[in-house]
Amino acid sequence: MHKDTQQVIRDIKSLKIQGARNVATASITALIGELKNSKAKTTAKLISEISAAGKALCTSRPTEPMMRNSFDELMNVANRLKAGKTEVEKMKALLIAYEKNMLERIKKDKENLTEYGAELIPRNAVIMTHCHSSTVTGILKKAKKMGKKFEVIACETRPRWQGRITAKELADAGIKVSLIVDGGANMFMKKADMVLVGADSVTSRGDLINKVGTSMLAHIAKMHDVSVYSAAELYKYSPETKLGILEKIEERNPKEVWGNNPKGVTVRNPAFDVTAARYLAGYITEEGVIPPQSFFDLANKKITKR
């Protein structure tokens, strides 16, 4: 495995690269590098190298189906080319071109999603958000460019403080933003008109897997009759969930929470939680704003047709 791919894996594990799309694009870019640097003389060897690198990338963070789906798509293409007896150098070129095209598709999907999301933002609204999602901040910045006035309340999102990233990015864009402690969500939800969060994974039932604390925020929003929307490309769908397999919830190093916890105190640090579909008003996708129950059908068609 090339040293650049090994570095990407380390950066994903340490959260230097975070966010489902950023993780997926970094992985795709790493696989392009693997293909370019491969010295494989046979298609079988090439596929073996790419498979090993892809699996290592996919296991760097367990709750990232967008990365897994893009890798599975690449392997399907590679195996079709092998079955067609494609010469190894030609296979390399075709796979590199395919991965570059995938990066363009991901970029275009984000642009479409951002447009739909910006249209959804009410004027003069208070938007509450959690963690950091480049999709969410992209939607909000696009809405501002459309001339919409609104303000944002960002939860700080312990223990890694990703809410600070969101708050700074929005402030730099000239958007009025307040950062609140996570425990203050109920108090500030009374002022909110809408909750907007990102997504790491979506199940076959339309349930959302996102940064831990999202589910709590959605429950509080329900209590105050505030609509919750998640910005999620269809590639964030987790196909295994239609077979009854639960998406694995990553649990990170407890030292992120308490570096010197007393003897006898167990520290738990789940990175994500699950928000049931019934707490969501809808998903903002590259195909438009859809009800949670529609996510499975649209995502399944998009992923399986490749």
Active-site entry in 58, 131, 155, 207: 131
Confidence bin at 305 (pLDDT 50/70/90): low
Confidence bin at 301 (pLDDT 50/70/90): confident
Bridge partners, residue 211, by sequence? 272
pLDDT tens digits, one per residue of 69-85: 999 999 999 999 989 99
pLDDT higher than 60, residue 306: no
Structure tokens at 117: 């999301």
Average pLDDT over residues 90-119: 96
Average pLDDT over residues 9-20: 90
- Percentage of the chain beyond pLDDT 70 is 99
pLDDT tens digits, one per residue of 154-198: 999 999 999 999 999 999 999 999 999 999 999 999 999 999 999
Structure tokens at 249: 């919830």
Rounded Cα gap, residues 175 and 245, in angstroms: 41
pLDDT tens digits, one per residue of 125-152: 999 999 999 999 999 999 999 999 999 9
pLDDT higher than 70, residue 239: yes
Average pLDDT over residues 45-55: 95
Residue 18: predicted pLDDT = 86
CATH for the 3-110 domain, from 1.10.3720.10, 1.20.120.420, 1.25.40.390, 3.20.20.140? 1.20.120.420
Name the residue with tokens 């910005």.
231
Active-site entry in 58, 109, 155, 200: 200
Domain boundaries, the chain: 3-110, 111-304
**The domain made up of 111-304 is a member of CATH 3.30.70.3170:** no
Q: Confirm whether 3-110 and 111-304 share one CATH topology.
A: no
In b/e form, how buried is each residue of 61-93, taking b as 16+ CB within 10 angstroms? Answer: bbbbbbbbbbbbbbeebbeebbeeebebeebbe
pLDDT higher than 70, residue 304: no
Residue 200 among the catalytic residues: yes
The H-assigned helical ranges of the chain are 3-13, 20-37, 43-58, 65-83, 88-120, 134-145, 162-172, 185-189, 214-223, 295-304
In b/e form, how buried is each residue of 134-161, taking b as 16+ CB within 10 angstroms? Answer: bbbbbbbbbbbeeebebbbbbbbbbbbe
